[in-house]
Homo-oligomer: A and B are copies of this chain.
Amino acid sequence: MAKKVTLSDVASAAGVSIATASRALGSAGRISAETRQRVLATAERLDFQPDALAKSFVTGKSATVGVLAEQAIGLYSMPVLIGAIERLSEHGIATLMYDARATSHELLAHLRQLRARRVDGLLIVGDTPDLTSLADALDFPAPMVFADVEPSGRNSSVVIAPDGHHAGLLAGRHLIGLGRRRIAHLTASAAGPAVQRRAAGMLEALAEHELPLVLGAPLHGTYSRSWGVVAAEQLLASGEPFDAIFAGDDEIAIGAYTALSRAGLRIPDDVAIVGYDNQHRPVHHDGIWLTSIEPRLHTVGSRAAEALLASIAGEQPPAVELVPGELVVGRSTIGPTLGAYEQIAP
């Protein structure tokens, strides 16, 4: 392999000092147009590639952003990551990624690595408490942005997250607009800020029409199909009449659908269902099956990248940015009826 061509090669070939060559190639410093031109041409001719490592070393800036993604590096974090990487790439910033599906100990090691590599910023994706608290503890020497985390208040860093309140509002207004008046909310643990925000949004929509939530409060469980089944059964057993369900995610929605179908109810004729996540997007060979809220995680990622870039540039982005989702209307709220004679393919 050919010997690497270095800045000093370019300088001597162009007949200038290495300092001048550096100035010609860089942006800083006064330099005559003629000299710059000559150096540039020489660099081109020699196919000079500045050594990024040396440059980073001397400037202390690595043009690199670190990313820690929680173990859900799979389904939920991925769109966020992709959105962020795309945006960062556009700005010539590389993304240094570690798997954060890790013990606290490994996590700490990764954070130290990231610090040692002098990343210009840190993007933390996902809601792992370990991640947030560790990062705090380490007082990371570069701007940090948290993505896909519901703001908890205790955190002073910049947070970009889906707007749960808006999602609840969208779901509520959609159902009410369709004439539904008795809406129940089956969701995950009340401990989650995202859960609370969506519930609050729904309550606001109901309040706009002076409607109560069926049962007076959400039913809290887990994000799972089985909880959806159980919750719907509890709802049926309560004897309370209802004509719509807002589910905390699509899994819960599908579980609820199953339980209601078994009980002989028709969807959406008897009960309309709205999910959250839009995980099951392309599921029906003949139209969208489940009405859901698309959280636009890709946008969450790109907005997070922008916030991080701004922080790195010394600006002060807003502490919290909530990305509104989008209602995706499917047959579970507007029909035709699901189940029965319908042939539904995944």
Contacts and interface: CB of A to CB of B under 8 A. Distances in A.
Count of identical protomers in the assembly: 2
A330 to B, nearest CB: 9
Contact of A53 (B62, B89, B98, B289): B62
Contacts of A117: 52-53, 94
Interface in A28-84: 49-54, 56-57, 60, 62, 64, 73-74, 78, 82
A238 interface: no
A96 B95 contact: yes
A241 interface: no
A141 B283 CA distance: 45
Given A94-B97, A344-B345, A345-B344, A53 B56 contact: yes
A261 B343 contact: yes
Given A73-B82, A99-B86, A346 B254 contact: yes
A113 interface: yes
Nearest to A89: B99
Contacts of A85: 73, 97-99
A1 B60 CA distance: 15
A290 interface: yes
A95 B66 CA distance: 10
Given A86-B101, A89-B99, A52 B94 contact: no
Counting chain A residues whose Cβ lies within 8 A of the other chain, the interface size class is: 35 or more
A55 B286 CA distance: 58
A89 B110 contact: yes
A116 B73 contact: no
Given A82-B74, A92-B113, A339-B343, A258 B286 contact: yes
Contacts of A255: 285
A96 B94 contact: yes
A90 to B, nearest CB: 8
A314 to B, nearest CB: 15
Nearest to A54: B57
Top 6 A-B pairs, shortest CB-CB distance: A283-B346, A52-B116, A57-B57, A280-B346, A89-B99, A344-B344
